[in-house]
Structure 1
Amino acid sequence: MFDPTDLYRFSGDVPELTDPVLLYHFDGFVDAGGAGRLAIGHLLDELEHRVVATFDVDRLLDYRSRRPIMTFDTDRWVGVESPEIVLRLAHDTAGTPFLLLSGPEPDREWELFTAALDTLVTRLGVSRLVTVHGIPMAAPHTRPLGMTSHASRPELIGGQTSAFGKVQVPGSVAGLIEFRLGAKGHDALGYAVHVPHYLAQAEYPAAAVTALEAVTKGTGLVFPLEGLREAAERTNVEIAEQIAASQELSTAITGLEQQYDAFAAGSERENLMAEPSEMPTGDELAAQFEAFLAERDERRGE
């Protein structure tokens, strides 16, 4: 039997905290629009933080499935970007301490990793674990972003309704953490932001804003969101420009708006479209937006 505490090591003094929230996200699982990645990245950019503990990535990652980037210069190797799974201590804008866990999703030893996190959560007195990510949905970006909340106890999300029934999906470490630690009595919850399916492969800052606003509502933590909101506004302006330049995109978005509005009004699902119409598929819409975003990035690099 392996000892879960062998999977991580503390960096310096272990902080003495009072019921901190632990916010976590792992790269590698579904994250439409980069909602979770952008949210965590924004917090790390905006808030002071320090490393509390690091995990043994040699045991957790399969380097051959996602090889680390190495730098070769002329006749020798001069650097390597080693992956890290790190637990950090940060403070929100009100000075409230909280924990951030991020890095690539482990490839192996999920149960041991979850057990290791359980020991950390217990040692640090964590009151609540929270995760965020994005999922693609057939909804227009011109309407408020929806969200699916889930938790180890229904009381944690206030009885919010869900667009989903009982389904089976590929698992994730984030989901396993909520399931296993919830079974042990820890409060764990998550927010899956509904990202327009045609923007799922692009960076969509509005989704990160929605995710962090949900975290604030669920935990009381307050984050600096001005820069992220400005990025979201710029992105929305660029998307509007692309749509205005394409009749096909304009027609498709109008159709999605009609479906959304009909659904919001309580119409039957078979009547979501006002009139039958030929619309591009999600993949076709995404391809057009990806081409637009690539052109935008090229213009920025000039």
Structure 2
Amino acid sequence: MGKRERLVHIVDEVQELEAVRDAGGDLTMVLVLDGFLDAGSAAARAAQHLTDLSDGPVVATFDVDQFHDYRARRPSMTFVRDHYAAYDAPRLLVRLLHDAGGTPYLMLQGPEPDNRWEAFCGAVREVVETLGVTRVIGIGSVPMAVPHTRPIALTPHANDPALLTGTSPWRGELRIPSSAQALLEIRLGEWGHEAMGFVAHVPHYLAQMDYPLAAAVLLEQVEIAGRLTIDLSGLRAEAEDTEAEIATYLTANQEVADVVAALERQYDAFERAEEDGASLLAPDQPLPTGEEIGRQFEQFLAGLDGPEEPGPSDQERG
């Protein structure tokens, strides 16, 4: 227990949470770890939307120095003329938020730990058990060979089949890169705690830009699984604006539109065939390469996602 205490500091008395626990109520904790599962910045944008709606107090803080590789992901600093003026320290913390109806819930957000994943899982377990969390919901997104003109698909997952709110598009077994977020779901299940999540499938040619539609889709699932009510009107309006910009660009660039049309045919053929979910390609229809699509969309992404004023590059942000 001593080691865990050094890894996370939990606020001793949060009366509102104690009242929920004493009444035997549910307490959801949304999990968003930056750095891996976030194509289109969908999870980050979803987390920002939640804090914009209800920026509550911090109730737990992790010792980031124990988890962060500063040379691999260097935090930003501000240099003014002849001195260093500010340092944007990475923060891994839990906030107390409220939904549209006033229901309290938590959000654990920050950079995915670069090391000591098992220790991190143990620290999160302490947060869950101390604050009375009844369900953890992780969100993320991955780039997929899908067109933006079709509904965003989701991969639901959970450490208890009874928690699943949808059907997985995959069949059989897949070998995938691991993440601290995924490992946490496994460990929480071993410790008797409910954990689940959703991964949005973002068109891979849009994975480097902000894609608010995917963020809205993820939060719709958080509403259902967490029994919360979240005002998504602003996020949906932002998504509509982005979709309109994409449509305008495709109208003016026939070559790019042809590539998207090819993806649509492949996607529709796959849906009709209902074949093995391990591939999103229809038989005998080769997918345009990522390089081909990337070249066509380079100008598009620069125009849509470029900063209005000088700022860190995409690589620096990633």
Query: Is this a same-fold pair by TM over 0.5?
Result: yes
Q: Matched residue of 2:208: which SS?
A: coil
In structure 2, C-alpha distance between the alignment counterparts of 1:58 and 1:125, rounded to whole Å: 26
Partner of 1:62: 69
Structure 2 residue corresponding to 1:181, chosen from 171, 176, 188: 188
Against the structure 1 CA distance between its residues 100 and 287, is the aligned structure 2 distance closer, same or farther, given a 3 Å change threshold? Answer: farther
Tell me, yes or no, if the aligned pair for 1:34 and 1:204 is still in contact at 8 Å.
Answer: yes
Contact residue 256 and residue 297 of structure 2 kept, 8 A:
no
Q: Which amino acid is the alignment partner of residue 216 of structure 1?
A: E
Give a deviation string over 1:228-265, Cα, whole Å, max 9, x none.
10110011011111111122111111111112222222
Deviations 1:261-301 (A, max 9, x none): 22222365799769968x64233223432421212456956
1:135 aligns with 142
Consecutive unaligned residues of structure 2, counting only runs of 5 or more, are 311-318
- Give the aligned residue type for 1:172: S
Instruction: Structure 1: state its 5+ residue gaps.
Output: none
Output the CA distance in 2 between the equivalents of 1:271 and 1:85. Answer: 35
**Distance change in 2, residues 1:280/1:272 (3 Å):** closer
| CA distance in structure 2 between the aligned counterparts of 1:267 and 1:89, rounded to whole angstroms | 42
Measured in 2, the distance between the counterparts of 1:30 and 1:182 equals: 21
Identify the range of structure 1 (247-256 vs 185-194) with the bigger mean alpha-carbon deviation.
247-256
* Contact 1:69-1:81 within 8 A present in 2 as well: yes
SS of the residue corresponding to residue 90 of structure 2 reads coil
Aligned position for 1:218: 225
Question: Aligned letter for 2:268?
Answer: D
Give the letter for the 1:84 counterpart: R
* Corresponding residue for residue 252 of structure 1: 259
Given the alignment, which residue of 303, 312, 316 partners 1:295?
303
Q: Does 1:203 align with 2:200?
A: no
Match of 2:8 in 1: 8
Between stretches 257-266 and 171-180, larger displacement belongs to 257-266
Aligned counterpart, 1:229: 236
Residue 76 in 1 paired to residue 83 in 2? yes
Aligned residues: 301
CA distance in 1, matches of 2:34, 2:204: 19
The percentage of counterpart residues that share the same residue type is: 44
SS in structure 1 of the partner of residue 46 of structure 2:
helix
Q: Would you say 1:47 and 2:47 are equivalent positions?
A: no
Root-mean-square deviation (Å): 2.4
1:109-148 superposed matches below 5 A? 109-148=116-155
* Cα distance in 1, alignment partners of residues 149 and 270 from structure 2: 15
Q: Does 1:168 find its partner at 2:192?
A: no
Q: What SS is found at the alignment partner of 1:126? A: coil
| Aligned amino acid, residue 161 of structure 1 | S
* Counterpart in the other structure of 1:30: 37
Deviations along 1:91-112, whole A, 9 cap, x unmatched? 0001110000001111121111
Amino acid at match of 2:297: F
Write out per-residue CA displacement over residues 57-114 of structure 1, whole angstroms, 9 at most, x where no aligned residue. 1111111111121222222222111110010000000111000000111112111110
After superposition, what is the alpha-carbon deviation per residue over 1:192-229, rounded to whole angstroms, capped at 9, x for unaligned? 00111111111110000110011112121111111110
1:283 and 2:264 correspond: no
